[in-house]
């Protein structure tokens, strides 16, 4: 491994891009990013998830935390094709695969984003959502991903090497799209799977693999143009051109997911309202919804069936189009 522009021959793969020379973050940076990337939120959320199970017989938050943890097993594949290299002195490793040592921060990071954030999207879907609000929710996922990742690349906890399209100050922003697609995909899968298993005891464990299933489908399904282009020996302009397809695919993907779950009755969410609601417990979210002047009770929503009957919801009512006054 001798630099950003070298290639090496790997048996069974041909020529691949070398990673840069090893680097090391400071001890402070390693500890800070461990908690910033998800451990702090997971430590806070775990007792809440256990109480939901104990007091309300609701195992879903705990199951989604577990689903997120299992999803971290896919990180080495994404690191390899996306050209991500970790600092040498991070806590861990949690595990090693593809000859890549995955730091201890990754399992709680996935528990937060692919577990709890997907659970948040699922809860918003249950309350009723329009296509527009689904896109706003996707945007909130992308922004939160960038907010989480930027300190890591700035501190040198990890870096994206090689020629990276859509990069701004060390972070390639196509990851905000592909990660957002993955999280929304998990939430929609959960929307259809949970009603089929929620009252069936041990079958509730079927929720555990939906994280890694949704992530692999979403990340590679939307990100394959980028992954192919940055691993090909082609001019930079053509890498950008091919990688632009990831933007197009991501938007089409989100539109298709929205069509699967959109309702005619929905809370008139704003981007800021959705972003704030990510940090609220269910009762706090309900109180917030009422605080913006939306006091109507949602109509009973029947359990979804598969295959879904895709339809375009009618234009929202005049009440639905009221612009909430954010306090």
Phi, psi of 313 (to 5 degrees): -55, 150
State residue 326's pLDDT score: 39
pTM of the full predicted structure?
0.86
- Who's near 275: CB < 8 A, 6+ residues apart? 140, 143, 144
Give me the residues of the chain with pLDDT under 70, please.
1-22, 293, 295-300, 309-327
Per-residue model confidence (pLDDT) at position 139: 96
- Residues 271-287: tens digit of each pLDDT: 888 888 888 877 888 88
User: CA-CA distance, 285 to 280, in Å (whole number)?
Assistant: 6
Give the closest residue to 278 by CA, choosing from 131, 167, 46, 115.
115
Q: CA-based angle 181:185:188, to the nearest 5? A: 140
Q: Estimate the share of the chain in helix, then strand, then coil, as percent rounded to the nearest 5.
A: 60, 5, 35
d(CA 84, CA 221) in angstroms, rounded, equals 19
Looking at the chain, the whole-number percentage of residues with pLDDT higher than 70 is 84
**pLDDT at site 282:** 78
**Contact status, residue 186 vs residue 211, Cβ threshold 8 Å:** yes
Report yes or no: 29 and 157 within 8 Å, Cβ to Cβ.
Answer: yes
**pLDDT tens by residue, 185-208:** 999 999 999 999 999 999 999 999
pLDDT score for 273: 87
* Closest to 213 measured CA to CA, from 246, 243, 190, 239: 190
Report the distance separating Cα 64 and Cα 86, nearest Å.
26
């Amino acid at each position: 491994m001798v630099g950003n522009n070298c290639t090496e021959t790997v048996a069974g793969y041909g020529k691949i891009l070398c990673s840069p020379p090893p680097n090391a973050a400071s001890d402070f940076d390693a500890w800070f990013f461990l908690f910033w990337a998800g451990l702090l939120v997971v430590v806070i959320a775990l007792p809440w998830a256990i109480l939901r199970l104990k007091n309300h017989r609701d195992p879903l938050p705990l199951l989604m935390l577990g689903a997120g943890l299992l999803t971290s097993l896919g990180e080495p594949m994404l690191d390899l094709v996306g050209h991500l290299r970790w600092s040498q002195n991070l806590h861990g490793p949690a595990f090693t695969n593809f000859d890549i040592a995955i730091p201890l921060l990754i399992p709680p990071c996935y528990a937060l984003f692919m577990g709890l954030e997907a659970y948040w999207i699922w809860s918003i879907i249950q309350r009723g959502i329009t296509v527009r609000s689904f896109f706003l929710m996707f945007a909130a996922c992308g922004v939160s991903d960038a907010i989480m990742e930027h300190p890591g690349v700035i501190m040198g906890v990890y870096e994206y090497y090689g020629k990276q399209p859509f990069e701004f100050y060390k972070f390639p922003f196509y990851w905000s799209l592909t990660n957002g697609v993955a999280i929304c995909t998990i939430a929609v899968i959960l929307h259809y799977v949970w009603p089929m298993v929620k009252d069936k005891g041990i079958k509730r464990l079927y929720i555990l693999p939906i994280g890694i299933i949704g992530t692999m489908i979403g990340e590679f399904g939307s990100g394959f143009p980028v992954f192919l282009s940055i691993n090909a020996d082609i001019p930079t302009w053509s890498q950008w051109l091919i990688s632009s397809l990831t933007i197009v695919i991501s938007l089409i993907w989100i539109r298709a997911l929205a069509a699967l779950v959109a309702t005619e009755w929905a809370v008139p969410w704003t981007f800021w309202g959705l972003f704030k609601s990510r940090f609220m417990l269910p009762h706090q979210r309900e109180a917030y919804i009422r605080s913006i002047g939306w006091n109507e009770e949602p109509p009973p929503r029947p359990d979804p069936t598969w295959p879904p009957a895709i339809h375009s919801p009618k234009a929202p009512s005049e009440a639905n189009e009221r612009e909430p006054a954010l306090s």
